[in-house]
Amino acid sequence: MKAMPAPQKPWSRSSITCGSELMNNSNRTALPVCQFISTGGTIAMKTDPAGNAPVPALSGDDLLARVPGLRHIADLRVQNLLNVPSDYMGPAEWVALHGAVEAALAQDDVAGAVVSHGTDTLEETAWFLDLTIASDKPVVLTGAQRNASEPDSDGPRNLLNAARVCIDPAARGKGVMVVLNHQINAAREVTKSHTSDVEAFKSGDFGLLGTVDDDRVVFARKPERRLRLALTGTALPHVAIVCMYGGADGSLIRHAASDGAQGIVVQALGWGNVNLAMYEAIAAAIDAGIAVVISTRVPNGRVRPIYGFTGGGKTLKNVGATFADNLSPHKARILLMLALQTAQSAASLQALFDR
C-alpha cells in the first residue's frame, strides 16, 4: 500500500478524556462513556492559506473542543487513530479501525463508539464495521460536508448528534449507523447521494432509521438484514470492481483476472446485464476459479437473473455468477472480500448475498 501523507501536525496522545479541564471527576463519572475515534476527513480539515484549499489539520481533541455542549452529553475518550482524507481509507485502514472499535466496545464502562470520518468512503467503512463488529453496542460514524474553516461547518452539530445517538439506549442492536444532518441511516442501505449538500446521505427505498431531534433521538425502524463475518487475518483478498458501459470490451475483466484478483464485482446495467464481450470475459474469469458478483449501476432495487440473451442476467447465472441483491458495487465488494477469506462455492456465496 502506498505510504500515507503525514498529518499536518503530530498527535502525541492516543487516548485522552474530552473536557478534562472543564469538568470535575464527579461530573464526568456520572456521564455515559463513549469512545471517540478520529480518522480525519473534511470534518478535521481547515483551509491552508498557502494552497487556499482544505487539508488535514485537526485532531480528535480539537474536534471535540469545538463542541462545548458535548461535555454535558457524554464522557468521550479520544483515540487519534488516523488523520487522512477518506479517499485514502482501504482494507488496511478498515482492519485497524475494526481493532480499535472492538477494543473499545470490550470495555464494560464504554456505552458505544463514535467515529469521525471523511464522507467520500464513509459508507464503505460503515458497512465493513457493520459486517465485522459483533457487539450490540452502538457504533456511530459521522463527518462533515463543510470543513472547519467555513463559518457554517456542519461538523460540530454532527458530532453532538452522533454522541446523542451513541448513548441512547434504543441505539443498541441497530448495527453501525451513519449520523449526519440530524438523520440516522443504517450501514447497509446508506449512500452518499450529493457531492456538497449537508443532507448528502440517503437510504434509497428503505429510508431513515430515525432522526435526532432537539429534544430526543427518535428511531422509526430497525435494520433487519444484518450479517456478520469474522475477520480471519489482517490481509483481505484482492477484489476488483469493473464497470459495464456501452461498448465495454471485457478487457478490464481480463486485466483484473491477470492481476491476481480473487474476486470481481461487475457494475452491470439494469437488473444485472452486460454485453457479449463482457459476458465472455466474465465466463472466462469464472472458469479460472475467480468469484464474480453482479451488481448494478442503478441506485435502487435488486439485481436478478431475468434476461435470457447472451449477457443477460440469466445467462450470467448459468455460468456461475453470483447476484448481489440490492448491494451497491462497492458494498458488494466488501462482502465478497470478507467471504473469500474462506473457500466459498457459488451456492454458498449466493446464499450469503441473499440473506
Query: Is 42 part of the annotated catalytic residue set?
Result: yes
**Is 193 in a helix, a strand, or coil?**
coil
CA atoms within 13 A on the CB side of 65: 10
Asked whether the beta carbons of 36 and 84 are under 8 A apart, the reply is no
Amino acid at site 246: G
Distances (CA, A) of 344 to 163, 204, 253, 292: 39, 30, 20, 12
Q: How far apart are CA 142 and CA 164, in angstroms?
A: 12
Q: How far apart are CA 308 and CA 143, in angstroms?
A: 44
Q: What is the DSSP letter of 173?
A: T
Among residues 42, 125, 132, 322, the one annotated as catalytic is 42
Q: How far apart are CA 144 and CA 336, in angstroms?
A: 29
Q: How far apart are CA 270 and CA 303, in angstroms?
A: 7
Q: Helix (H) and strand (E) counts for the chain? A: 10, 17
Distances (CA, A) of 203 to 123, 127, 173, 184, 210: 11, 13, 19, 10, 11
Q: Which residues contact 336 (CB under 8 A, 6 or more apart)?
A: 237, 239, 263, 265, 291, 293, 349
Q: How many C-beta neighbours within 10 Å does residue 53 have?
A: 10
Q: How far apart are CA 132 and CA 289, in angstroms?
A: 26
Asked whether the beta carbons of 174 and 223 are under 8 A apart, the reply is yes
Q: Which residues are catalytic?
A: 42
